[in-house]
Amino acid sequence: VIAMTELDLTAKRVLIREDLNVPMKAGVIRSDARLQAALPTIQQALKQGAAVLVCSHLGRPVEGEFNEELSLAPVAAWLSDKLGQAVPLLRDYLDGVDVAPGQVVLLENVRFNIGEKKNADALAQRYAALCDVFVMDAFGTAHRAEGSTHGVAKFAAMAAAGPLLAAELDALGQALDMPARPMAAIVAGSKVSTKLDVLTSLSGLCDQLIVGGGIANTFLAAAGYPVGKSLCEHELLDTARAIAAKVSVPLPTDVVVAEVTGPIEDFMAFVQAATPVVKLVADVGANDMILDVGPQTAAHFAELLKAANTILWNGPVGVFEVDAFGEGTRTLSLAIAESSAFSIAGGGDTLAAIDKYDVAERVSYISTGGGAFLEFVEGKELPAVAALKAAAAK
Ligand code: 3PG
């Protein structure tokens, strides 16, 4: 693919697709990690002499309708502040935009446009007509073939990869193509079914596959341990066994449980009120719900991580939002931070854990991708990257 940094952008109109899909509540940005990651690309394009148009989606609006709650207005304010210049938010931009070299404009949520999700050519052509160069930099949305991530690359005079997208692909490539061994992966989360492709792909690649959360419960049940009232996919026990036959899956030896005494209406309220009890995995009772790995297990997993030269981390191993069930995730976060391995982390919950335990500075690479990160690890070609390759071959 062509890299943005290789191009002469002097006085060029450059349309940059970023993933500015940040968690937002009542107009307040809850985490600016994706904005921080995109900022250097915008600054770089300005430095190269461009007139910059930035676009992104936010959330999943109904197309063809403006929706105040999913407006990028707070992002425009954030960008204006960080860039030290006004970044106007444009609502009507499909017929053309006035922007001079050195200026930046933000185009309103692309998913308000009819045809964005469906990757309609008619819309993609209008995006392409806005610019001399299209830069795809939204790694977090590179797994979506939509008008502003895929279609536009077909019609733009020139289509290039932005520095953030390039850095993401490099870091993931380094972790997955020829990993320094031993390689340990942590795949945690509620369900084996939603992470099955990731587990399968990593079982052929890493040396230790550490599982956590509901996924670990399914592996424990597959090994014959009681899991009581824990989240567990009993229909996937054979699948778990097949994975464990391919790669070393170290199972928890102790866990932190809470007793379930009645129906749970609000899961987080239940966890907040629960009393943590450490048990050996063989002693998990019929009313117990596993909510974290135990201290012995956390220490063992930490040793495995310290011995690794490559670490890939997706998912917290317990309900870390509540401190009583966060020790496992905290211990593993610190082990990753202390390790000299090349470590890469991705996924929304993982980023929240990295924030909570303040280890961001000591993880080698933190991906801005959630779904895109997982699809890359699954070995799938990301459609937006394929579109850039096709454009470069033209
Ligand atoms: C994400 O947050 O994973 C990306 O921004 C993609 O969003 P989507 O799942 O709504 O396409």
Shared domain check, 332 and 212: yes
Task: List the one residue out of 98, 101, 108 whose CA is nearest residue 130.
Answer: 98
Looking at the structure of the chain, the number of domains it has is 2
Position 358 pLDDT exceeds 90: yes
CB 132 within 8 A of CB 158: yes
224 is catalytic: no
191 is catalytic: yes
Shared domain check, 192 and 158: no
What is the token pair recorded at 33? Answer: 């990690």
Shared domain check, 118 and 72: yes
Residue 359 lies in a domain: no
Residue 307 lies in a domain: yes
> 371 in ligand 1 pocket by Cβ < 6 Å?
yes
pLDDT in tens, 250-271: 999 999 999 999 999 999 999 9
CA pair distance 281, 302, nearest whole angstrom: 18
- Mutational test site, ligand 1, from 20, 30, 57, 382, max ligand atoms within 8 Å of CB: 57
Protein residue closest via CA to atom 7 of ligand 1? 141
pLDDT in tens, 310-322: 999 999 999 999 9
Other C-beta atoms closer than 10 Å to the C-beta of 185 total 28
CA pair distance 392, 389, nearest whole angstrom: 5
CA pair distance 268, 355, nearest whole angstrom: 20
Residue 229 lies in a domain: yes
Q: Which structural domain, as residue segments, surrounds residue 287?
A: 181-340
Position 348 pLDDT exceeds 90: no
CATH number at residue 213: 3.40.50.1260
Ligand 1 centroid distance, CA of 121 (Å): 21
ipTM: 0.99
Shared domain check, 13 and 103: yes
> 370 in ligand 1 pocket by Cβ < 6 Å?
yes
Q: Please tell me the predicted confidence (pLDDT) of residue 148.
A: 98
> 21 in ligand 1 pocket by Cβ < 6 Å?
yes
Shared domain check, 202 and 79: no
Bond into 316 cis (ω within 30): no
pLDDT in tens, 58-85: 999 999 999 999 999 999 999 999 999 9
60: annotated binding-site residue? yes
Residue 351 lies in a domain: no
Ligand 1, atom nearest to 21 Cα: 5
CB 338 within 8 A of CB 213: no
Shared domain check, 117 and 200: no
CB 200 within 8 A of CB 304: no
Shared domain check, 196 and 134: no
Task: List the one residue out of 365, 361, 385, 309 whose CA is nearest residue 340.
Answer: 309
CA pair distance 119, 145, nearest whole angstrom: 7
Residue 237 lies in a domain: yes
Ligand 1 centroid distance, CA of 371 (Å): 7
CA pair distance 394, 374, nearest whole angstrom: 29
Shared domain check, 34 and 107: yes
Ligand 1 centroid distance, CA of 98 (Å): 29
Greater model confidence, 394 or 147: 147
Helix (H/G/I), strand (E/B), else coil: 88: coil
Shared domain check, 270 and 126: no
Kindly name the residue from 13, 17, 34, 330 that is annotated as catalytic.
34
What is the token pair recorded at 296? Answer: 């012995």
- DSSP codes of every residue in 276-307: PEEEEGGG--TTEEEEEE-HHHHHHHHHHHHH
CA pair distance 95, 393, nearest whole angstrom: 29
Shared domain check, 387 and 336: no
CB 90 within 8 A of CB 97: yes
The upper half-sphere exposure of residue 5, i.e. CA atoms within 13 Å in the direction of its Cβ, equals 11
Ligand 1 centroid distance, CA of 228 (Å): 34
Residue 394: pLDDT band by 50, 70, 90 thresholds?
confident
Task: List the one residue out of 77, 81, 87 whose CA is nearest residue 52.
Answer: 87
64 is catalytic: no
CA pair distance 177, 159, nearest whole angstrom: 26
Residue 360 lies in a domain: no
CB 54 within 8 A of CB 64: no
Write out the H or E segment, with its range, that includes residue 208: strand 208-212
Kindly name the residue from 49, 154, 306, 348 that is annotated as catalytic.
348
Residue 347: pLDDT band by 50, 70, 90 thresholds?
confident
> What is the value of pTM for the model shown?
0.91
348 is catalytic: yes
Shared domain check, 272 and 192: yes
Ligand 1 centroid distance, CA of 140 (Å): 7
Shared domain check, 210 and 105: no
